[in-house]
A and B are shown apart, each in its own frame.
Chain A
Amino acid sequence: MGMGKYILQRLAFTVLVVIGISILVFVITHMVGNPVDIMLPLTATEEQRQLLTQQLGLDKPMIEQLGTFLKDAATLDFGMSWWQRRPCMEVIMDDLPLTALLIFFASCISVIVAIPLGIAAAYHKGSFLDRVLTIISLGGICLPPFWIGLMLMLVFSVKLGWLPTSGIGTWKHMILPALAISFRPMGHLSQIVRFEMMQQLNGLYVITARAKGVTETAVLFKHALKNIMTASITMIGSDFTKQLGGLSASVEVVFGFPGFGHLISETISNMDFPLLQAEVFFVALIVCLINLLVDILYAAFDPRIRY
């Protein structure tokens, strides 16, 4: 099977997954509560309630509502947000690109820091350096990102005054939130790189390479690095999608960053079904596409994988 055909197949699969997840969310959200109760004050009359139910289309059978939803979603029309009273697409397009950029920055920071650290720890396994790096990366995994964010803000914004405390607008506003988000992926990735690299360095092909006179630097970067890439990419991809699925919310709140994670949590507390539907749709789509990208990259790093 050629690469092109594989990608097409995966894209078709992506469509199925997105539709499936949309249906699931639609059904579940319609079972958990009545939005009319939330949108109207407790003093509202029965007529007002029925009018709104009609306006929202909630009086129609669920299967019909679902059909309408899917038809509109196909044209990326998710209707009006109940909470913000403007089109869902508009709300999402305000926040999603910015957050995607933020998480992309965070991923870059994590890759740039974690790969060299993990390799160094593996190469000097058991040394003082290795232990310090392990403690740091475990810290990165365990400490809550909002706390890391607050500490960064205290040092770099409040004490040193180098960077703004909150808001958006320039790349300077991105640095601290991206750093705060990057700690957890950095911890994950450096642990994976350390473990994978230790395995590779025990491999016989490393002895073969050394036996022909290859330098230690070349053993690490010319020989072993490529072999740890599949595991590393899996980790990078999985952390990226988790952050995008709402994990970044707490950091966004700390830095007053009007992002997608924050939006998701607000949407849920406002019981804004159409907006929630749209958000789930985009998260599912992006998760599928990133997984596809990860799988394509696999083939680039491991010649045993063919599509």
Chain B
Amino acid sequence: MEETKTKDIILSVKDLSTSFFLREGEVKAVDGVSFSVRKGECLALVGESGSGKTVTALSMLRLVVWPPGKIKSGEVILDGVSVFDLPMKNMKDVRGKGMAMILQEPMSSLNPSQTIGQQIQEAVEINQGLKGEEAKKKAIEMLGIVRIPSPEKRYYNYPHELSGGMKQRIMIAIALSCRPKVLIADEPTCSLDVTIQAQILRLMQQLRKEIDTTILFITSDLGIVAEMADRVAIMYAGQLIEICDVFTLFENSAHPYTKGIMGSITAMKEGGRLNIISGDPPDLMALPSGCKFHPRCEYCQEICKTEEPGYTDLSGTGDHWVRCHFPLNKK
């Protein structure tokens, strides 16, 4: 699947596959994922729990640990650099400055025995080339930027002395201190209560305007998608099944799964969470033949059970792709 406007593309992922090899068998967590992100945009990666969003992001940074995880194939091009072709010891140049990641789980993603100041400062020192007092000043400044009150004092706090929302902001501060070309935010609000969620989102939007980064925003919350994203990639069972802009997602999505999770727009406005579709989530160790979604698809036909659909370009311009034999969009 190629997108037409290639000149302002900063990150492209091609045919990425990552599996976990467990005693019980191979878990195909990511299976042939391809997408591109344009400079300055926010691409949302959406899918239900276990669809492979986090593993996709970790694979891009080569942070999947063997054993049991292994990147089987794929190519990641970040600003002209082929990430998977680099020797492992050079990955430290891609991580941070190239792509920084806010992990999903703020509670355990900070080192318990270092102050939060030290942990931000380390990102500053590695990625901004500052040292000592200067780096410390920058770290304190970052604490202010993510709206932590009295940053000079908080610099010396340990993670256990902060609330969940504050830890999440520290994670954001660490990622921003890397000055990344692409910021990967993995459900940065999912473990927080609604008010703090709103605060963090507002903060991320403000920061996005201020520093103009490219964002890959992983979420399973359609309300957040509507608020933050320019384009959306929908994931199901380790595969991307539809990519389109946000307007198309809400008005004219094509994949039965996408339609399913969207539910009715009104329900959407109330909750924002993915609509629940009937049927069991796929077992990644025993995926169905043909289209991975066919056992749960109400439009399923014979061909869907045997033949895996390829990507179809619906827009003709490369902006709306779907992986379905019978797309539902209005022509």
Contact = CB atoms under 8 A, between A and B. Distances in A.
Partners in one complex: yes
Interface of A: 126, 202-205, 207-216, 223, 226-227, 301-304
Interface in B168-209: 171, 174-175, 177-178
B92 A213 contact: yes
Given A203-B108, A303-B158, A214 B126 contact: yes
A210 B63 contact: yes
B9 to A, nearest CB: 22
Contacts of B113: 226-227, 301-303
Contacts of A213: 92-93, 95-97, 123, 126-127, 178
Interface in B55-90: 58, 61, 63, 65, 67, 89
Contacts of A216: 89
Contact of A212 (B95, B108, B115, B160): B95
B105 interface: yes
Contacts of B178: 212-213
A211 B109 CA distance: 11
B235 interface: no
Contacts of B108: 203-205
Given A211-B96, A213-B178, A205 B160 contact: no
B111 interface: yes
Contacts of A212: 95-96, 100, 122-123, 126-127, 174-175, 177-178
A204 B114 contact: no
Nearest to A201: B65
- The residue among A126, A204, A212, A304 with the most chain B CB atoms within 10 A of its own CB is A212
A210 B95 contact: yes
A303 B162 CA distance: 13
B101 interface: yes
14 contacts: A202-B65, A204-B108, A205-B111, A207-B101, A207-B109, A209-B122, A211-B101, A211-B103, A211-B175, A212-B126, A213-B97, A216-B89, A226-B113, A303-B158
Contacts of A223: 111, 114
Given A215-B92, A223-B111, A208 B160 contact: no
